[in-house]
Structure 1
Amino acid sequence: MAEIQLSLSVLLPILLLLYFLKLLWSRRHYPPGPLAFPIIGGLWRIAFEKGIDGMTAIKAAKQYGNVFTLWLGHFPMVFLSGFDAVKEGMVDHSEELLDRGVTPFFEKISEGKGVGFTNGHAWKQQRRLVQMALVKLGVGKRTMEDKIEDEAQQLVEIFASQQGKPFDPELFITNAVSNVTFSLMYGYRWSVEDPNFKKLIKTIEYTLSFGLISISYILYELFPSLMDRLPGPHKKALETSQMLLSLSKEEIRKHREQESTQEPRDFIDYYLREMEKEKNKNDPTSTVDEENLMHSILDIYFAGLENITTVMKWALLILANRPDVQDKIIKEIEDVVGSSNICYDDHKRLPYTHAVIHEIQRYRYPMLVGIARQATRDVHMRGYIIPKGTYIAHNLRSVLLDDEYWETPHKFNPNHFLDKDGNFVARKEFLGFGTGPRSCLGENVARMELFIFLTRLLRVFHFQPPPGVKEFTEEPARGASLPPHPYKVCAIPRNS
């Protein structure tokens, strides 16, 4: 018996070593990356750095190269870092990397519907329909601008009610950004005091905080069948997504009951009319149905809310730390626009203001990393073969901090977007909204919101830290996105 135990104690480590070496050999064609162990893959790297922050993937790229592999348990994720590698992936290989990498958790939430996490014919049809609807509803035109200006005015009134005292702007910004989307999707807005709105925001915040960095999320991605049988935060996250879908379903029911004979009032109206047209065509390949409508609403809402809200929170913080930048913006507005109302087209006449808004997005890009793609066939890139089916993450944050293209990548510097004569310069390296066929659908709306919200607020208020606070920290908090740490700001009326 003792001899058997001794033999096993010697044989087992040898077998494990052979298995590990076989594993390494089978992965030899992938780009280099952190050493991948059985079960955990390269996740030890995240634990070693005490979690994920905005620099985790950038640091890994410095060590392993701008194309590297992080094994998430048993499946590989290839990261593209820096402008050249990301552009090569998103533009030069756009067809091979067109599909969304739908992991088990996001597959469960999306149910293969909507515009955010579908591929092939379904994605093309849904994206085209969303694009047509946005154009029809006035995105990029005065119609959309009027809605944003209404929300900007509401924001001014709420900030004014604080009477220059310290306050947390987060809920008010979230309400304003949400209402732009709500007016597009549902045709109405919610008051910041509405209990249903507050409940909705808490639900969304929980869903966002669950993803990407929580242990429960990682375990679900690695062992979905097992986690479906176990209790935990992942169950609540899945339930909250169903609650949001139920909200859209109820709005669709109301729209059907109140069918408009006029032009479409909102996205739901437009989509329902397209559904009727598709029924008449009797096309068996059509994906224009209520389930896709519900999920598309959810995709559009999530995409717009988190990004723009986070950029706006960063904007107020960054400007409060830099009164000189605020003064330069106001002087430019007074010199060019005077006392007239500012419209979005004025961004062409306000180069410094336009540069500051771009620099805020570049300096504190709100996302950890772009949503993964999946290779539809083997991709030959930079001397490596990325096999078909591999997930690819385009690190847009690394593009905006690429020291080969930005003079002071880790410092706030509006001159990144200005020439020597003070004219605005559009930079090809600015991929704040992505690029290629899967670029952000709401880019035009987002640009309008940021410009109108900020210019309207800065015309009325001077932002500064509360008494006793010298300046705010500009280190981002950790999360699924990279928001600033919670803060209170003083909005001092300029006419005082």
Structure 2
Amino acid sequence: MDLVGVAPLLLVSCIAFLLILIWRRQLSKGNLPPGPPPLPVLGNVLQLDLRNLVRSFWRVRDQYGPVFTIYLGSRPVVVLCGYEAIKEALIDNAEVFGGRGSTMALDEKRRKFGIITTNGERWRQLRRFSLTTLRNFGMGKRSIEERIQEEAQFLVEAVRKTEGCPFDPTFYLSHAVSNVICSVVFGKRFDYDDKEFVTLLVLINKSIQIAFSFWSQLRLAFPSLMKIIPGPHHQRNEYLDELVRFVNRRIQMHRESHDPNCPQDLIDCFLTKMEQERQNPASEFHDDNLVVTVVNLFFAGTETVSTTLRYGLLLLLRYPEIEAKIQQEIDQVVGRNRSPCMEDRSRMPYTDAVVHEIQRFVDLIPLGVPHSVIRDTVFRGYTIPKGTSIFPMLTSALNDPQHFETPRKFNPGHFLDENGAFKKNEAFLPFSTGKRVCLGEGLARMELFLFMATLLQNFSLRTLKSPEEINILPQALSSGNLPRPYQLCMVPR
């Protein structure tokens, strides 16, 4: 064999040897929880079903226990299963487990800005500012309740125009829910026939489906490789770019009319803060953080609640007897002549229980949003190195048989005591918990109750097939649960 033929073989052998050395060094770091043996470079990808990560993680849990390690490519991820493990990490050790892990929520550049994907001082300042501003503009106060009530009436009028004919509720619900956060962030709502806004809602819906697909899991495992491999994961950046352009146009409109003495919404408040800190070179209040923060709030404030409502209506189609009980309670407590309000919730335990059970059963983000540890830490006898990603498997809490009697069944009784009064359940964690608990939890809870109660006050649901034929299992996605497409009729009561 001549030297020309030997050289490529030697090169390949050297590269493989170096990769194995790097891999062994990576494995030697820390004393991570047990898990399936990983392969060099590939990790556990071949042992997992990336089209259904949740099912794969259940199998690993059965073999290795409630805290285990899997490798997505060369990156270790510690998975927490069951309410007790999640509580011990995210609540009892909230500070050290309070980092944000790797996520494909945004592209590589924009992940450095905003609230959802950042860490440290940037995250703290932007989260504190956003919470304060949202509260000042009504989150948790009566004014935001009035906004939701007003939007619920717009939704009712839009549904009335269907005249009891079959329709897909997806974008009616998305538009209504999105208008609530738009009124706080942009200072205005959008008409249901606004073509630009409808297009954005379609893009957000498509983006969510990609985010929950196995393509996104491949991007997490092999970020460099997936940049050059074609596939639908690249479309998500296109959708995000369109959303950013929309936000930038809105910000420019605010700049032209900005009055620092009379802020109308979150963007006005952010622009005022930018002006106040203009001389501070370390300020976190600049254009990049403004754009991405607004995108974060707009995106998160649209899809999660609207998808939960859409799934909830499907569940009520499947169980019409539950719908009938809710409507009976609405008639007794609220009647037909005024809008439901949050004060009614304490006197409507069954409706409140159903709304909670919808969130539990829907299990929208079963793996939770990734966390990370901010320093080397010992957890349950294992050593987890700084920066290691943590998956709090929220589905394992929401379906924990120690806390929910029939976890795989839709059962409002999970949130009712023997006297029919509402009862809380500590394992109810649809918004996660700890320092990274969902920023808009309070707003989402209000929206779910008020929109659902208002719709059922005004309409009865009708299905195009018998209830027994309705499939309430989610679409087959890798890391999220979305309802299967469906149509329904909403008949005025």
Shift of 1:337: 2.9
- 2:258 is aligned to 259
Q: 1:112-261, aligned counterparts within 5 Å?
A: 112-215=112-215, 217-228=216-227, 232-260=231-259
C-alpha change, 1:490 and 1:105, in structure 2 (3 Å) is: closer
State yes or no: 1:75 paired with 2:75.
Answer: yes
Q: TM-score, normalised by structure 1?
A: 0.90
Q: Give the corresponding residue for 2:40.
A: 38
Aligned-residue offset at 1:73: 0.7
For the pair 1:85 / 2:85, whether they are aligned, the reply is yes
Count of residues paired in the alignment: 484
Does the aligned pair in 2 maintain the 1:30–1:69 contact within 8 Å? yes
Change (3 A) 1:224 1:150: same
1:139 match: secondary structure: coil
1:294 aligns with 2:291: yes
Report the secondary structure of 1:437's partner residue.
helix
SS in 2 for 1:491: strand
* Cα distance between partner residues in 1 of 2:376 and 2:26: 20
For 1:135 and 1:104, the matched residues in 2 are separated by 29
Q: Structure 1 residues 147 and 105, CA, compared in 2 at 3 Å: closer, same or farther?
A: closer
Please give the alpha-carbon distance, in whole angstroms, between the structure 1 residues aligned to 2:229 and 2:47: 27
C-alpha distance after superposition, 1:96-134 (max 9, x if no partner): 111111357746152411111111111111001001110
Distance 2:465 2:287 in 1: 52
> Structure 1: which amino acid aligns with 2:99?
D
Is the contact made by 1:105 and 1:220 (CA closer than 8 Å) also made in structure 2?
no
Deviation readout 1:68-111 (Å, 9 max, x if unpaired): 11100111111111100011110111111111113577461524
TM-superposed CA distance for 1:379, in Å, is: 2.0
TM-score by length of 2: 0.90
Q: Which residue of 1 aligns with 2:269?
A: 270
How big is the shift at 1:299?
Answer: 1.0
Q: How far apart are 1:307 and its partner, in Å?
A: 1.2
**2:345 is aligned with 1:347:** yes
Q: Is the 8 A contact 2:205 2:303 kept in 1?
A: no
Indicate the residue corresponding to 1:304 in structure 2: 301
Give 1:187 deviation, angstroms.
1.4
> Which of these residues, 396, 419, 422, is aligned with residue 421 of structure 1?
419
Closer/same/farther in 2, CA of residues 261 and 380 from structure 1, 3 Å limit: closer
Q: For the structure 1 residues 257 and 227, does the alpha-carbon distance in structure 2 shift closer, same or farther, using more than 3 Å as the test?
A: same
- Please state whether the residue corresponding to 1:68 is helix, strand or coil: strand
Q: Give the Cα separation in 2 of the matches to 1:51 and 1:194.
A: 35
1:297-376 residue pairs with structure 2 within 5 A?
Answer: 297-339=294-336, 340-376=338-374
Deviation, 1:264, is 2.0
Q: 1: distance between equivalents of 2:467 and 2:347?
A: 35
Shift of 1:469: 6.1
Q: Structure 1 residues 53 and 169 mapped into 2: Cα distance closer, same or farther (>3 Å)?
A: farther
Relative to structure 1, the CA distance from residue 25 to residue 227 in structure 2 (aligned partners, 3 Å threshold; closer, same or farther) is: closer
Output the CA distance in 1 between the equivalents of 2:293 and 2:57.
30
Report how far residue 371 of structure 1 moved. 1.4
One-letter identity of the residue aligned with 1:314: Y
Partner of 1:478: 476
Residues 429-472 of structure 1 show CA distances to partners (whole Å, capped at 9, x for unaligned) of 11121211111111111111111101011111111321456441
Report the alpha carbon displacement of residue 262 of structure 1 after superposing the two structures with TM: 5.7
Q: CA deviation at 1:192?
A: 2.7
**1:48-59 pair list within 5 angstroms:** 51-52=51-52, 54-59=54-59
Q: Secondary structure at the match of 1:198?
A: helix
One-letter identity of the residue aligned with 2:458:
V
Question: What is residue 428 of structure 2 aligned with on the other side?
Answer: 430
SS in 2 for 1:108: coil
Evaluate the alpha carbon distance shift between residue 413 and residue 109 of structure 1 in structure 2; reply closer, same or farther with a 3 A threshold: farther
Query: Quick one: distance in 1 between partners of 2:323 and 2:212?
Result: 35
Letter in 2 for 1:397: T
Q: Which residue of 1 aligns with 2:462?
A: 464
Q: Distance in 1 between matches of 2:463 and 2:20?
A: 58
Tell me by how many angstroms 1:163 deviates. Answer: 2.2
What displacement does 1:319 show?
Answer: 0.9
SS of 2:174 mapped into structure 1: helix
Question: Are 2:390 and 1:392 equivalent residues in the alignment?
Answer: yes
Q: Provide the rounded CA distance (Å) in 2 between the counterparts of 1:350 and 1:139.
A: 22
Judge which range, 480-489 or 115-124, deviates more: 480-489
The answer to whether residue 406 in structure 2 is matched with residue 408 in structure 1 is yes
Do 1:465 and 1:471's aligned partners in 2 also have CA atoms closer than 8 Å? no
Q: Is the 2:360–2:398 Cα contact (8 Å) retained in structure 1?
A: yes
Shift in alpha-carbon separation, 1:109–1:349, aligned structure 2, 3 A = farther
Alpha-carbon separation, structure 2, partners of 1:69 and 1:297: 34
CA contact (8 A) 1:417 1:424 kept: yes
Cα distance change, pair 91–313 in 1 and its aligned pair in 2 (3 A): same
Determine helix, strand or coil for the equivalent of 1:441: coil
Cα distance in 2 between the residues matched to 1:271 and 1:25: 44
Distance 1:315 1:154, change over 3 A: same
Note the alpha carbon deviations across 1:356-380, whole angstroms, 9 max, x for none.
1001101111113111111111221
What CA distance in whole angstroms lies between the structure 2 residues aligned with 1:180 and 1:370?
Answer: 24
* Correspondence for 1:382 among 365, 374, 380: 380
SS, match of residue 340 in structure 2: coil
What code does the residue aligned with 2:291 have? M
Tell me how far apart the structure 1 counterparts of residues 275 and 307 of structure 2 sit (CA, whole Å). 38
The unaligned stretches of length 5 or more in structure 2 are: none
- Measured against aligned partners, the alpha-carbon deviations of 1:143-168 in whole angstroms (never above 9, x if no partner) come to 11121112211221222222222211
Please give the alpha-carbon distance, in whole angstroms, between the structure 1 residues aligned to 2:277 and 2:27. 51
Distance 1:182 1:28, change over 3 A: closer
Q: Against the structure 1 CA distance between its residues 427 and 223, is the aligned structure 2 distance closer, same or farther, given a 3 Å change threshold?
A: closer
Whole-angstrom CA distance in 2 between matches of 1:373 and 1:177: 27
Once the two structures are TM-superposed, the CA of residue 218 in structure 1 deviates from its matched residue by 4.1
Change (3 A) 1:53 1:102: closer
Aligned-partner Cα distance in 1 for 2:455–2:354: 15
Letter in 1 for 2:403: Y
